[in-house]
């Protein structure tokens, strides 16, 4: 098995926020390279347990090897973390002491140029699937989606100000030849964005983010899943969510805010009739960001935000 780099983001901050303890039961919904899972198992020794999910068969295989010293204390499930309700009912009916979501693409997937996630690998196929079982690829999106839909995806998921120009150029170029390679898309994007607007990072960054989100349905059901996870905690248990772009962060922030909201009745009423009860306490009034040293050594940490809440 080839060794690919995996650097968990804000590791110490996350473990501190989760209050990992011996004997606790934890859920890592985004196993990836197993970096966070490894430290959770280490800090919850000798009898803490972990259930972790990932859609990627390679991630499951790789993490199984990395975690083998904790054999008997962890269960890895090839599944989407959005299937949390079924997994909890089957494996943890009494709830969890801590839940972690590290959203986005894991570093070892980004480093595997054959996956097509990186805009730095010109010759690679535009795949972008987190699970090989997913029939939808970025090639399909680019070559079969209507121009209007491409514009929406680039604007909504990538927050790309030149979404209309890029979508139009994609539609023009795919009439000449199928768009399949990273380099082809990079060239289209480069031609579509005026020179003076290419100073803020790589010009392809936002479009690649948008395609990845579309291919993997990353935002679909995220609000409902975060809500369900918070409710799946034991009293005093904590949920920690790491996001990497504003779309995810806004969804997590909104879910936490709604769960923290108590009675919404008109204050003039003598008693509560809405029946709404506060379910969590938000621990992070503002999201935690990585320190300067980590931001310098791990590029993924630059855009990361960590939010933490506790079940009441």
Per-residue pLDDT reduced to its tens digit, 257-284:
999 998 777 777 777 877 778 999 999 9
User: What pLDDT does 2 receive?
Assistant: 42
- Written as one string, the DSSP assignment of 58-114 is HHHHHHHHHTGGGTTSEEEEES-GGGHHHHHHHH-TT-EEEEEEE-S--HHHHH-GG
User: What pLDDT does 205 receive?
Assistant: 92
Token digits for 269? 């009423």
In CATH terms, the fold of domain 11-104+219-311 is: Rossmann fold (3.40.50)
User: What pLDDT does 213 receive?
Assistant: 95
User: What pLDDT does 131 receive?
Assistant: 84
Per-residue pLDDT reduced to its tens digit, 83-122:
999 999 999 999 999 999 999 676 666 666 677 888 888 8
Residue with tokens 């599944």: 79
Q: Give percent above pLDDT 70 in the chain.
A: 95
User: What pLDDT does 269 receive?
Assistant: 76
Q: Give percent above pLDDT 90 in the chain.
A: 77
User: What pLDDT does 4 receive?
Assistant: 46
Domain extent listing, the chain: 11-104+219-311, 110-216
User: What pLDDT does 18 receive?
Assistant: 97
User: What pLDDT does 5 receive?
Assistant: 52
Q: Is residue 230 scored above 90 in pLDDT?
A: yes
Q: Is residue 6 scored above 70 in pLDDT?
A: no
Domains 11-104+219-311 and 110-216 share a fold: no
User: What pLDDT does 56 receive?
Assistant: 87
Q: Is residue 130 scored above 90 in pLDDT?
A: no
Strand order across the 25-28 sheet: 74-78, 49-54, 25-28, 96-102, 233-243, 305-311, 280-282
Q: At what angle do helices 147-158 and 163-176 cross, to 10 degrees?
A: 140
Write the CATH number of the domain with boundaries 110-216.
1.10.150.170
Q: Is residue 223 scored above 70 in pLDDT?
A: yes
CA atoms within 13 A on the CB side of 125: 7
Q: Is residue 185 scored above 70 in pLDDT?
A: yes
Average pLDDT over residues 35-43: 96
Mean pLDDT of the chain: 92
Are the C-beta atoms of 27 and 48 separated by less than 8 Å? no
Q: How confident is the model at residue 1 (pLDDT cuts 50, 70, 90)?
A: very low
Phi/psi at 85 (nearest 5 deg)? Answer: -60, -45
Per-residue pLDDT reduced to its tens digit, 138-169:
999 999 999 999 999 999 999 999 999 999 99
Chain-centroid distance of CA 204 in Å reads: 20
Q: Is residue 129 scored above 50 in pLDDT?
A: yes
């Amino acid at each position: 098995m080839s060794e690919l780099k995996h650097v968990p983001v804000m590791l110490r901050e996350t473990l501190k926020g989760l209050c990992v303890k011996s004997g606790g039961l934890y859920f890592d919904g985004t196993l990836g390279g197993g970096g966070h899972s490894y430290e959770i198992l280490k800090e919850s020794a000798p009898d803490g347990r972990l259930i972790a999910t990932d859609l990627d068969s390679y991630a499951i295989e790789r993490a199984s090897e990395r975690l083998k010293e904790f054999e008997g204390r962890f269960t890895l499930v090839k599944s989407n973390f959005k299937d949390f309700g079924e997994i909890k009912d089957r494996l943890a009916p009494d709830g969890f002491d801590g839940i972690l979501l590290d959203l986005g693409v894991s570093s070892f997937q980004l480093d595997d140029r054959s996956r097509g996630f990186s805009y730095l690998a010109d010759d690679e196929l535009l795949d972008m699937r987190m699970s090989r079982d997913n029939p939808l690829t970025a090639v399909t999106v680019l070559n079969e989606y209507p121009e209007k839909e491409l514009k929406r995806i680039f604007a909504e998921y990538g927050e790309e100000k030149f979404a209309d120009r890029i979508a139009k150029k994609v539609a023009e170029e795919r009439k000449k030849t199928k768009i399949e390679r990273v380099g082809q898309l990079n060239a289209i994007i480069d031609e579509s964005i005026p020179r003076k607007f290419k100073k803020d990072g790589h010009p392809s960054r936002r479009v690649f983010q948008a395609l990845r989100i579309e291919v993997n349905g990353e935002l679909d059901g995220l609000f409902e899943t975060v809500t369900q996870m918070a409710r799946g905690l034991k009293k005093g248990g904590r949920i920690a969510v790491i996001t990497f772009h504003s779309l995810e962060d806004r969804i997590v922030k909104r879910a936490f805010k709604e769960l923290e909201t108590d009675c919404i009745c008109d204050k003039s009423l003598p008693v509560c009739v809405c029946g709404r009860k506060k379910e969590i306490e938000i621990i992070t009034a503002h999201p935690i960001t990585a320190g300067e040293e980590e931001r310098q050594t791990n590029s993924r940490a630059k855009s990361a935000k960590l939010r933490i809440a506790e079940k009441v």
